[in-house]
Each structure stands twice: as C-alpha cells, then as structure tokens.
C-alpha cells in the first residue's frame, strides 16, 4: 500500500477547509520520469503552493479555451498497482480514506470498513457503494491541457496518489451526478463541502498546470469569495 496518502492528513485538511466555509452563502456540482507537454502555468505562478488562500490560488490558474476533440476515457489508464503491492489505485484510496479500516484479503480484496463521503456527508459501510472520484474529471483534464500529454503522463494523472486531494472516495450517486462537470455546473450537495471542493479542484489544476476557461474561473471566484480563508496546498507534478 502506498505510504503517502493517510486519512489523518486528509481529514486535517478537510477539517481546516470546512471551518473556513460559509455554508449559507455558498453556491448550489513506479512513478516514471515526466514526459510529454503540458499547459503553461500562469505568469509568475509558483512551482508549488503552501499558505495560499483559495482566492489567491484561483488567480494563479492559467486561462484557456477548453477543447474536447479526440477525448476517450481509456486515454487515461487506471486503476494501476504502481508500487506492486497488489492494491490498485482504487483500493489504495479506500484504505487511506477509511475512518474505520477495512480488512484486506488476498489480492487486496477489502471487506468491512467505514467511510465518510464528504460531498454529501454520507457514511458508507460498503466499499462497493463508493466511487473514487477524480476531483478534476478525466474529460475536464483532457479539455484543459492533458490532450497534449503522452500516455504515460495521463496514466500518472489518473492514478495520482502523490497528492492528498486529487482522488477522493465518495458515494457513487454524487460522483455520477457530477459526471465531467466543472464548478460552474456542479458543486457538492453538502454546503459544508463546497469550500473544500473548490480548494481540491484548484490545487489539482495548479498541480498539473491545467487551464481553466472563463466560465469556470467566474464560478471559482464566486465560490472563493465565500471561502476566503480556505487553504490551498499543492506541489507541481513532475
């Protein structure tokens, strides 16, 4: 199992972000060497962020025009077992984010356990009812710059366990309601989750130097105004 993602860290970030929210005002959706090309960062954008607030982080997003041409979901290979421990990316996230640890059987089969889906504040005791959500969906990533990457970099994006908040375990219902929508069309149904979601979205885009279109930026700016103290932490992906 990957040692980088741990629930206490994710929970601490979540708790800090939720404290900063203003729910009543929030709107109502083997690591190989880097190769290929990616979208250019905004002028002056740092190579990592620590101590940023959500409004400041939104300003760092590169602005572009999104293009869906040529997108296929299988352009992003997932779920893989990058460290060869028999647990694939989906299982790694479930183990890391469990609030009650599941039992691990042969080939990392999971049983028991308990999870909190922060999108809708639902507690789940059956892993089969959870999806692992790419906070920035694969189609959105393609539109925003990943279409220019090679297959290896897209695989690393789709299985990004080196960032605490790129992948999250949430109820299948909320993940499928979200689909490939960006924050201008969908935010989590739990108002208390929206500041955290905005920070997760922006940190993922900055990590991978993905662009945002004008409608998306406007929605994020509106959200950030109600989440002024929400922290955004990221490291640029290699």
The pLDDT of residue 203 is above 50: yes
Say how many residues make up the chain. 238
Compute CA distances 107 → 87, 96, 190, 194, whole Å.
Answer: 7, 17, 35, 35
Q: Which two tokens stand for residue 64?
A: 């572009």
Euclidean distance between CA atoms 166 and 205, whole angstroms? 9
Which of the residue ranges 24-38, 131-145, 180-194, 219-233 would you say has the lowest mean pLDDT?
A: 24-38
Which residues, 6 or more positions from 89, have their beta carbon under 8 angstroms from its beta carbon?
78, 79, 80, 81, 82, 132, 158, 159, 161, 167
The pLDDT of residue 2 is above 80: no
Taking residues 71-94, report their average pLDDT: 97
- Kindly report the average pLDDT of the chain as a whole number: 85
pLDDT per residue as tens digits for the range 172-187: 999 999 999 999 999 9
**Confidence (pTM):** 0.81
**For residue 169, which of 227, 207, 140, 129 has the smallest C-alpha distance?**
129
Q: How many CB atoms lie within 10 A of CB 68?
A: 11
Q: What was the pLDDT predicted at 20?
A: 40
Which residues, 6 or more positions from 217, have their beta carbon under 8 angstroms from its beta carbon?
58, 61, 63
Taking residues 159-181, report their average pLDDT: 97
Q: Which helix (H) or strand (E) holds 95?
A: helix 89-97
- pLDDT category of residue 34 using cuts at 50, 70 and 90: very low
């Amino acid at each position: 199992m990957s040692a980088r993602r741990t629930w206490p860290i994710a929970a601490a970030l979540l708790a800090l972000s939720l404290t900063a929210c203003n729910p009543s005002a929030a709107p109502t959706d083997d690591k190989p060497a880097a190769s290929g090309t990616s979208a250019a960062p905004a002028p002056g954008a740092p190579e990592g962020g620590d101590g940023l607030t959500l409004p400041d982080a939104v300003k760092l997003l590169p602005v572009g025009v999104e293009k869906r041409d040529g997108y296929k979901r299988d352009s992003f290979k997932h779920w893989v077992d990058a460290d060869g421990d028999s647990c694939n990316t989906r299982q790694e996230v479930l183990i890391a984010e469990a609030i009650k640890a599941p039992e691990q059987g042969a080939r990392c089969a999971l049983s028991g356990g308990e999870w909190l889906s922060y999108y809708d504040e639902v507690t789940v005791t059956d892993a089969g009812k959870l999806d692992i959500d790419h906070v920035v969906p694969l189609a959105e990533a393609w539109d925003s710059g990943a279409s220019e990457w090679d297959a290896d970099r897209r695989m690393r994006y789709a299985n990004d366990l080196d960032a605490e908040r790129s992948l999250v375990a949430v109820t299948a219902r909320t993940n499928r309601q979200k689909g490939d929508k960006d924050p201008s069309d969908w935010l989590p149904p739990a108002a208390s989750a929206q500041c955290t979601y905005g920070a997760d979205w922006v940190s993922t885009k900055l990590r991978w130097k993905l662009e945002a279109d004008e409608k998306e930026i406007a929605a994020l700016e509106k959200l950030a105004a109600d989440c002024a103290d929400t922290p955004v932490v990221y490291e640029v992906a290699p």
